Structures are given as structure tokens and as C-alpha cells.
Structure 1
Amino acid sequence: MPSTSFIHFRTPGILIFGMVMAPCGWILDLTATVAPNWRTVNNLPTEAADIFLQQGIWDICRASTSNRELQCNQQDEAYFNEQIIEIAQAMMVASLIVTLIGLAVAIPGVRCWRERPNWTVAGLGGLLIFCSGVLTIIPIAWYTHILTNITAASTDIQVGYCIVLGYIGGIMEILGGFVMFIGICRCCGGKNRSERVVRNTGRAARNTTAPTRITVPSMTSRSPSSASSVPYSKDSFDQPDFRRPAPRASSKASSYGAQPYDADL
């Protein structure tokens, strides 16, 4: 009985790359959006030397180097009234939403159980993911550029970890979205559209062809009436059709002929 074979369709590598990079970038962008550490303000004039402020786009926390306790919900109207803060809030939230929409659009086009992916749908999803990365990079780069110009109680200002996470997340989304989008066009001679079909049978296919039966003549029966499927019988080997050569004469001929000698008497 022939074995049933299952066909698995391999998802193109550029789509796998985009679908891995986009969620990772989204997680980093989410952390950069909600965490209150876009910059760190040290050496506050009215505070102790070990006290510093962690300022984000949604909240400000007061921390200390001597302990790990954070006191958030600090008020600073001058800081939150800065133009970059309002723009960063809007663009970071928009980036998170656009990334989710891009993933929702790309997933139906990248489904691996189809014979071929829907390159148009996957490419549009990649375009949305690319745009979400741009929406992240713009406020991050702008905030970094005017880092020391934003209102602060001290001039000792350092870049926070949210800036680093935002850069990494935005770049990952840009790369993932761009790689997915190039599948929509025929670049590189169309090599990016060559999907391979892998057949997995689980075991090697068995040969189901019935073996051919060969009739072998019986070697024990010498009856001439016995049937045989070959045009000769065993007795034919006992009587060869060729003439055997005559036996060679003895190389040692008698030199004395037929007459007796004295020694023979």
C-alpha cells in the first residue's frame, strides 16, 4: 500500500526576517515609550548629591544612588510644556499602533500553509512596519538633538536608556519592514520569489511493483515429457555439440622399439 506524502511549503526568508524583527522592535519601542528615562538630570541644586531625576515623555521619577527607591509622578510643568514632549507622545503612540496594524496585514500574506505567499499583502504590511519605524526614529533623534536645550533644573544631563532602546527598536522595524516590502517588486531577477516545495514522506517510498515470476526447470526430472520454459534440458550438457581435441601423444617415445635387450631376458 503506497504511503501518503505530506507537502510542506517553506516560507521565504525575507518574510521570516521581517516577521521576527517587527515584533522585537515593537517591544523595544513600547519600553521606550512608557519608561521614564529619556534623560537623567544630576546635581540638582536643592537636593542631595546622590539624588537625580529620570525624565520621560509621560512621567518624571526621583531616584537616588544610595537606594533603589523611585518616587514617580513628579510635577514639572515647564518640562511637559516643551513642544518635543507633545510631539514625542503622539508619534510614539502612533508608531505602536501602526506596527500592530502592519503585523495584522502581513500575517495573512505570509501564511506558510499556502502554496505561495500573497506578496502584495505581505508587502503592504511591510510598508506599514517601515513607516512605524520612521515614526519612532523621528522623535528619538529630535529629543537627542535638543537634549540639553530642554528645560531642566541642572546642566548635568545624560542620555537615558529609553533613547537607546528607541533607536534599536526603530531600526529593527525599518529593516524588517523594508525587507518585507522589497518582495512586492521583481528585484534581483525575481529570485526572491522562488519558493521551494518540500515533500516529506516520513520514509522512503516502497516499490509496489509486483515481482516477475520466473519458471526454473527442474534438475531432478529427466523425463522428456516434463515441461520446461527454456529451449534446452540438462541432458544436452552431457552431449556437447563441439568435437573434443584428441589426446596428445606421450612426449617420451620409446627409443628401443619392440625388440628385447639382454637386460630384459
Structure 2
Amino acid sequence: MSQRTPGILIFGMVLAPCGWVLDLTATVAPNWRTLHAVDGRPTDQIIQQGIFDICLATSTSTDQNCDEEDQIYFDNELIGIAQGLMVASLVVTLIGLAVAIPGVRCWKESPNWVVAGLGGILIFISGVLTIIPISWYTHILTELATAVTTTDVRVGYCIVLGYIGGIFEILGGFCLQILKLNENSTIYVVSCAYVT
């Protein structure tokens, strides 16, 4: 009797927390986009806009001041939606991990593939919840209203982290949904259905 956890489940259980950490960073860090060459401001000053905070930084120093006011930016419909979806993604990932962990534990003859699959579905959904606001924000990056005027708008590192984190969660959730259905170790992909 082998009590080792199958590699595909380990792979899913590694990808999901990694994706969660990247999504958490993307959620709280104020760098979804950066505004350069802002009218009426020093040329080396950069405005970093996130979904929860805005910071001022300079290209010649590591110092930055946060909690900047820009109600016009935060009034964009996407910002409120992104806040809700990113937080929901973080919560759903944690719930998915809590469900999947008992399914992949190796103290029994074989993992509980159905429980692991249910956790995988939740983690997959959390990845989709991350990709939606990240993609939407990227699509209208230069169209978001803000209180300042600039023609130099760039993608921030949070967008990259969010894409990677969301993809990690989608892949991790997919790996956890793979069920072993027979004794010959043939692997099939099913969506939340236990087949005998």
C-alpha cells in the first residue's frame, strides 16, 4: 500500500498558494498603472495607482508617499468592481485550499479525489475572479479617468503579478480536478462528477 500523494495533486497544491500570494500582492500594492510626465509636476515624479491606494514616487529616489487623494480615479466603475473581485478571489482561494487539503492527505490508501476536485473547482474559480478585473483594467488602462493630466500611462507590476497569480490558480485548480477513476492508473479529467 502506497500512501504517497500523487504528483498531480502536489503540483496543484503548490501552484494555488503561490498564485494566492501573487494575487494578494497585486491587490494591496498601489501599482496597477503608473503615470509619467504629469502636467504641472516635476518631470521625475511618478504617480502609482492601485485599486486601494495611490502613491507618489520619483525616478531618482526610492522614497514614496502614499494615501494620495484622487476621487475621480476611485469613482471609475471598474475600481469598485476590481476591489470586490480581487478580495473575493483571495477568500475563495483560501476556502478552496481548506476543502482540498483533506482530499490530498496521504494517511489513507488513496486520496479522496472528489474532495480534492471540489477544492480544485473553487481554486479554479478564484483564478478566473482574478483574471477578469486584471484583463478589464489592462484593456481600458489609458481610458480610466483621473484628476491629473498626462499622455504617458504605463502598465504597473501589479497587472503582471495578477496575471501570473490568476494563471497559477487556474492551473492549480485544474490539476486538483483530475480524478483517478480505475485501478490501472488511467487519469481522466472530469468536472465535479464522481464516476464509478
TM-score by length of 2: 0.91
The separation in 2 between residues aligned to 1:55 and 1:160, in whole angstroms, is: 8
1:110, 1:122 within 8 Å by CA — same for their partners in 2?
yes
What does 1:60-139 align with in structure 2 at a 5 Å threshold?
60-139=54-133
| Structure 1 or 2: more helix by fraction | 2
From 27, 31, 35, the counterpart of 1:33:
27
Q: 1:191 aligns with which of 168, 186, 192?
A: 186
Counterpart in the other structure of 1:250: none
Deviation at 1:190, TM superposition (A): 5.2
Indicate whether 1:175 and 2:171 are aligned. yes
Q: Report the Cα distance in structure 1 between the residues aligned to 2:150 and 2:64, rounded to whole angstroms.
A: 19
1:46 aligned partner: 40
DSSP 3-state at the match of 2:187: helix
- Please state if 1:140 is matched with 2:153: no
Counterpart position of 1:238: none
Which deviations, in whole Å up to 9, do the C-alpha atoms of 1:63-102 show, x marking residues without a partner? Answer: 1111111110100010000011000000000000000000
Corresponding pairs, count? 185
Normalised by the length of structure 1, the TM-score is: 0.67
**2:118 and 2:69 mapped to 1: Cα distance?**
42
Tell me which amino acid in the other structure corresponds to 1:147. L
1:8 to partner: Cα distance: 5.0
Q: Percent identity?
A: 64
In structure 2, what is the Cα distance between the partners aligned to 1:122 and 1:52? 45
CA-to-aligned-CA distance 1:152-205 (integer Å, 9 cap, x gap) = 321210000000000000000000101111227x49x85138xxxxxxxxxxxx
- Report the secondary structure of 1:10's partner residue: coil
Q: 2:155 aligns with which of 135, 156, 159?
A: 159
Distance 2:151 2:53 in 1: 20
CA contact (8 A) 1:8 1:113 kept: no
Structure 2: distance between partners of 1:156 and 1:169: 27
In the alignment, the residues of structure 2 paired with residue 52 and residue 122 of structure 1 have an alpha-carbon distance, to the nearest angstrom, of 45
Query: In 1, Cα distance between the equivalents of 2:168 and 2:3?
Result: 27
Q: Retained in 2: the 8 A contact 1:95–1:135?
A: yes
CA deviations on 1:134-163 (whole Å, 9 max, x unpaired) are: 000000000000000001321210000000
Q: CA RMSD in A?
A: 1.6
Indicate the structure (1 or 2) with the bigger Cα radius of gyration.
Answer: 1
In structure 2, what is the Cα distance between the partners aligned to 1:97 and 1:20? 17
SS of structure 2 residue aligned to 1:183: strand
Look up the SS of the partner of 2:64 in the other structure: coil
By relative contact order (CA 8 Å, sep 6+), the higher-ranking structure is 2
Q: Which residue of 1 is the match for residue 192 of structure 2? A: none
